[in-house]
Amino acid sequence: MAVWSLTTMLTVAFSYKVAVVMRFLVLQVAVWTMTIATVLGGFYAFFLHREVEGDKVIKRQGYNG
């Protein structure tokens, strides 16, 4: 959870800096849209996605949840 939180904060900080220098509102919205997609995609990949083989869910190595 800590790694995802830190990378999310870094992504948001970088996106803020990029959005500030964009001249047009459409470009600012595009930057924030990509940021949201990246953060939500990372959350899904780290916490929600499970590999499925047939009818069985495959547990990842080192993960006991």
Domain residue ranges in the chain: 2-58
Tell whether the model's pLDDT for residue 3 goes beyond 60: yes
Give the model confidence (pLDDT) of 6-63 as tens digits. 999 999 999 999 999 999 999 999 999 999 999 999 999 888 887 776 666 666 655 5
- Per the CB < 8 A criterion, the answer to whether 34 and 22 are in contact is no
Q: What is the pLDDT, as a whole number, of residue 1?
A: 81
Q: What is the pLDDT, as a whole number, of residue 40?
A: 95
Output 44-52 pairs: Cβ under 8 A, ≥24 positions apart: 46/4, 47/4
Q: What is the pLDDT, as a whole number, of residue 22?
A: 94
